A and B are shown apart, each in its own frame.
Chain A
Amino acid sequence: MIAPLRRRRAAHRWEPRADAPAWRVVLVTLGAVAVAALVVTWVFVAYGVAPGEAWATIVRRTLLEPRGLSETVRKAIPLLLAGIGLLLAFRARFWNIGAEGQILAGAIGATAVALFTELPGPLVVPAMFLAGMLAGAAWGAVPALLKARMGVNEIITTLMFNYIALYLVRWLINGPWKARSATGFSYSERFPAEAVLPTLGATRLHWPTLAIALVLVAVVALLLARSRFGFEVEVLGRSPEAARYAGIDAGRVTLLLAALAAGAAGLAGVGEVAGIHRRLVEPTQLSLGYGYAAILVALLARGKALAVVPAALFLGFVFAAGDVMRVSLRLPSQLPDVVTGLVLLLVVASEPLTRGRWVRRDPTEAAATPAAEAPVAPPAAATAGAPAGGAAHASPDGEG
């Protein structure tokens, strides 16, 4: 089936680095983004849109005009919340890709409070945030519990929970929670005024959620940098074996992290229903794939809590730019998905670049190799990193 090949000696050898300098990380990340921008430019050309004009329109309508900027920022809110949660989870190698479902769970929790409780006015919004957070946390805690106690693969369970949440919302708005007025499209009754979040001026920027998100980012940054819990997360994420030796209860830490992460995503869901839609709507409109894009936010931030802010803003820009492309430039609405996937791929691919470099072998060593047989790989492309992420999918103790 596979012919055994004789091994050739590579002309370069891999030299790992102690740590990646920050400028290198930033440079590599910007490089990935630049490549994605080039691809988008090519798409413009392919669709017969003048690239210069298209970019100018996008920049004007997402960054320069106040209304456009507010759209960029308000799209970054759910990304911030879900992203900071995922950053935590990923630090301990808990591969939660269920933020999308947790956002929906949070939205369900908030809707339940908004439509079906009789709380005094000022308490409604706090109760909605609390309910949304708890609903999200519960939604994320089930896969975490299954992982911690039984070793069930969390990648697949969290993803399945996304679909389950999606159909749950669909069932709610078509069945028990369906608005009396709803014909054609399905949605719930409109939230009462006290259950709607205030926005900045005439924009859709629901600032209370933004404030919560920023505080949460700061708290997580502090926890990671200075708390015992943060240290335990760091040890667990880098070496599960050493964590056991250090007396760290991996199950407890994982469960706590997963619940925190999912709770943060739940808050994002509250913001979307209470700040934007003001009712429970079709799940694919409620979250435009924020839960998946948040994975990229967390990875772009590379474990640094504060870096989630620029990463979320960048993706907020991608989403807002997608709207501009669709509405103003009449380009397909799927472009942002492609860009998100592409940037994710490029960022992953370039990740090893930050962790080491190829150096030429000693000439006496390399002399044994005809130059033509050396692997044709520019330093920028052929790189390697330390083994990463081995704990999640199917390592002996992480499988289900």
Chain B
Amino acid sequence: MDVDVLVVATIARALAFATPLLWAALGEVIAERSGVVNLGVEGMMALGAVTGFAVAFTTGDVWWGLAAAGLAGMLGSLLHAFVAITLRADAYVSGLSLTMLGLGLSALIGRAWVGRPLPDPMRTIDVPWLRELPLLGPMLFQGQYVLTYAALLAAVVAWVLLFHTRGGLVLRSVGENPTAVDAAGLHVRPVRYAAVLIGGLLAGIGGGYLSLAYRPSWGEGMVNGLGWIALALAIFAMWHPLRVVLAGLLFGACFTLAFRLQTVFPPELLTMLPYVFTVLALVFTAWRRGRHAFGAPEALGRPYLRGER
């Protein structure tokens, strides 16, 4: 195969593959920047995927489905927010139970829709004018879903909001030093709630992308660890929205390239590769920055209780 064509096709596929990861990882970056770990990404994506599919199937409109997907993810995250922020229970276990509950519930809800294709799935688009560009056109601007571009846009918006607005400053401060924020007369908990809910919304949309666009159908193993990979991506990108995009594309490119080895490797071993790659990416991140996790919000994973250090 011509090298140019290979590169173009790989990047185009990588974008499509990375899209759900981008949505979910962006959401997690926002939540974790406020100091709340949410290990429920996998569950929220599953809830988003099944709800989105059910609504799109029933109404015949993928956009209603997408809205429902985001809402479902958000509802899931609300559960986590209540347990981890209001009740100040262990955020790790709370997120984990959200994943288990979300996977179980989605399988239960989705029983009626297993194996039924979506009659009117999300369509791919070609970007006018830009699609004509040599190389870049077929690479980035042909046959992608709107949600892919929206994810890139969301990353930029998240970056602007987090790093260039007062609200973003407050959110990051809550993640770094909630005591100081509290002392400044601002509420810690509403900020954390908002961040976690946005995280849930984005994870739900990521799930919706899977069941409405990428593979317009529903099945129990649909998310299959993508939520966990998104968590790893947030770390790999060191909690920075723009780096999430770069890291997501890198992940996507690696997975896509690996799948080109299909003729050489048995399919089971190929399916294993994203998970192996995720571990390697985490090891690489740790190796590059030594034992000190700079970039990690200082108060990450710690519930805030006034009067406590």
Contact = CB atoms under 8 A, between A and B. Distances in A.
Contact between chain A and chain B defined by CB under 8 Å: yes
Contact of A352 (B87, B99, B225, B229): B87
14 contacts: A4-B186, A7-B185, A153-B232, A156-B278, A163-B225, A167-B271, A170-B268, A171-B269, A332-B111, A348-B83, A384-B88, A394-B32, A396-B298, A400-B282
Interface residues of A, number: 65
B101 A344 contact: yes
Contacts of B161: 1
Most chain A CB within 10 A, of B39, B96, B103, B186, is at B96
Given A164-B275, A392-B92, A337 B291 contact: no
B136 interface: no
Specify the main secondary structure of chain B where it touches its partner: helix
A156 B42 CA distance: 12
Given A349-B87, A388-B90, A390-B302, A341 B235 contact: no
Interface stretch (B57-65, B162-170, B209-217, B249-257): B162-170
A217 B90 CA distance: 25
A159 B99 CA distance: 12
A400 B293 CA distance: 7
A292 B104 CA distance: 12
Contacts of A4: 170, 185-187
Interface in A1-25: 1-2, 4-7, 14
B278 A394 contact: no
Contact of B305 (A163, A338, A387): A387
A97 B96 contact: yes
A5 to B, nearest CB: 5
B164 to A, nearest CB: 11
A337 B190 contact: no
A150 B37 contact: no
Nearest to A293: B100
Nearest to A154: B282
Contacts of B269: 167, 171
A341 B275 contact: no
A151 to B, nearest CB: 5
Contact of B90 (A334, A335, A389): A389
A397 interface: yes
B275 A160 contact: yes
Interface residues of B, number: 75
A152 interface: yes
B105 interface: yes
A382 B89 CA distance: 11
A385 B97 contact: no
B128 interface: no
A344 B208 CA distance: 26
Interface of A: 1-2, 4-7, 14, 95, 97, 146, 150-153, 155-157, 159-161, 163-164, 167-168, 170-171, 174-175, 292, 295, 299, 332, 334-342, 344-345, 348-349, 351-352, 381-385, 387-390, 392-400
A336 B100 CA distance: 11
B268 A384 contact: no
B308 interface: yes
Q: Report the 6 A-B pairs with minimum CB-CB distance, sorted nearest first.
A: A1-B167, A341-B101, A337-B104, A399-B293, A341-B100, A171-B268
B39 A163 contact: no
A389 B292 CA distance: 18
A163 B229 CA distance: 11
Given A164-B275, A389-B92, A397-B291, A5 B268 contact: no
Contacts of A395: 293, 296, 300-301
B222 interface: no
B303 interface: yes
A175 B228 contact: no
B297 A394 contact: yes
Given A1-B167, A338-B105, A384-B88, A400 B286 contact: yes
B268 A146 contact: no
Contacts of A1: 161, 165-168, 170-171, 194
A168 B83 CA distance: 36
Contact of A337 (B107, B285, B287, B296): B107
Contacts of B146: none
B94 interface: yes
Nearest to A159: B228
B88 A95 contact: no
B91 interface: yes
Nearest to B42: A159
Contacts of B308: 387
A348 B90 contact: yes
